[in-house]
Amino acid sequence: MPARELPTSVRIREVGPRDGFQNEPDVIATHDKVRLIDQLGRTGLKRIEVTSFVRPDVIPQLADAAEVLREIDVPEDVSLSVLIPNERGFQHALALRERFHEINVFLSASETHNRHNVNRTVDESLAGFSRVLERAGTEGLRREAVISTAFGCPYEGEVPAGRVTAIAQRLADAGVEEIAFGDTTGMANPVLVEERFGIWREALPGVELTAHFHNTRGLGLANVLAALHAGVDSFEASFGELGGCPVPAGATGNIATEELVSMLEEMGIATGVDLPALIVATGEVRDVLGRPLGSRVLRAGPVDWAPSAEPPDA
């Protein structure tokens, strides 16, 4: 079978300020979050997930969600999104409706992971989100859903493609314009990725399909290439490879945004992102966290980095 022609350009949502900061053991100061988001907003990234309205006693790292939204100052053409855990979180977010443009809701494809993550069955999550999505539509917000463990579950193992598709169809029926399929614990491989996105593309006409890969077992960018071959042109990533999942032990974060941009641009696929500026932003978050990050591009620089230039990780 002939290979599908690769996209000429892609869309990238940066999720580090939410997915990444949420998973840090220490709380990052609000002024540092604001400074880093403002910096990301000037790299050419057009979509940034900035925070989530979750219970502060459960995730203290995001307790300053309202303050962050009030204080960030990014260019007008940057679309800001917030992750919504439930109806109560959505009510809190609506108090700052003028400060963001998109909402993301999330659930797991496997019952066990969903129970561990949000203490709900999949049906309970879907029922709650249907009301949130309906209200978000009346507010003129763009609506995305993220399906975690779409390629496998650390508790249940293989998650059947039909189960993921059925959940995605219910979300599409509830009004989402975009669905991200998450390899939450790094269980995907390129063959599986291309096969499943082929199924989802056929089942979900008119819905934007987004790939969300983690680099747990080093296959993140290989899976990106497989998704590209399946016609996917929308990705989520996190600067510095921040983020992750507490299961399995030793899991790493999301694919690094700067590595994704570097690879795509080298392949002739436009991202609209200023890679040197993004690397500077990644260096800034490394300094704020005070530890090395997993990003290889941060350490080595892009392919065309001038040999005489100061190393990016100096």
What pLDDT is recorded for position 312?
A: 56
What pLDDT is recorded for position 253?
A: 85
245 counts as catalytic: yes
DSSP state of 239: G
User: Which one of 62, 245, 264, 275 is the catalytic residue?
Assistant: 245
Neighbours of 132 (CB within 10 A): 22
Q: How far apart are CA 251 and CA 119, in angstroms?
A: 22
Q: How far apart are CA 95 and CA 110, in angstroms?
A: 33
Crossing angle of the two packed helices 122-138 and 111-118, in degrees rounded to 10 = 70
The one-letter amino acid at 276 = P
What pLDDT is recorded for position 74?
A: 98
What pLDDT is recorded for position 175?
A: 97
What pLDDT is recorded for position 303?
A: 86
* Per-residue model confidence as pLDDT tens for the chain (314 residues): 345 689 999 999 999 999 999 999 999 999 999 999 999 999 999 999 999 999 999 999 999 999 999 999 999 999 999 999 999 999 999 999 999 999 999 999 999 999 998 999 999 999 999 999 999 999 999 999 999 999 999 999 999 999 999 999 999 999 999 999 999 989 999 999 999 999 999 999 999 999 999 999 999 999 999 999 999 999 999 999 999 776 656 667 899 999 999 999 999 999 999 999 999 999 999 999 999 999 999 999 988 764 555 555 54
Q: How far apart are CA 271 and CA 21, in angstroms?
A: 24
Residue 144, classed as helix, strand or coil, is strand
Q: What is the CATH number of domain 11-300?
A: 3.20.20.70
Q: Do the beta carbons of residue 83 and residue 55 sit within 8 Å?
A: no
Q: How far apart are CA 153 and CA 179, in angstroms?
A: 18
What pLDDT is recorded for position 259?
A: 98
Sequence-separated contacts (24+) of 28-31 with Cβ below 8 Å: 28/61, 28/288, 28/289, 30/64, 30/67, 30/68, 30/71
Give the DSSP H/E element, type plus range, for residue 298.
helix 296-300
What pLDDT is recorded for position 1?
A: 38
DSSP state of 2: P
What pLDDT is recorded for position 147?
A: 98
- Write out the two tokens for 282: 């990644």
Give the DSSP H/E element, type plus range, for residue 133.
helix 122-138
Q: Do the beta carbons of residue 43 and residue 273 sit within 8 Å?
A: yes
Q: Do the beta carbons of residue 19 and residue 242 sit within 8 Å?
A: yes
Q: Do the beta carbons of residue 50 and residue 37 sit within 8 Å?
A: yes
Crossing angle of the two packed helices 87-94 and 122-138, in degrees rounded to 10 = 20
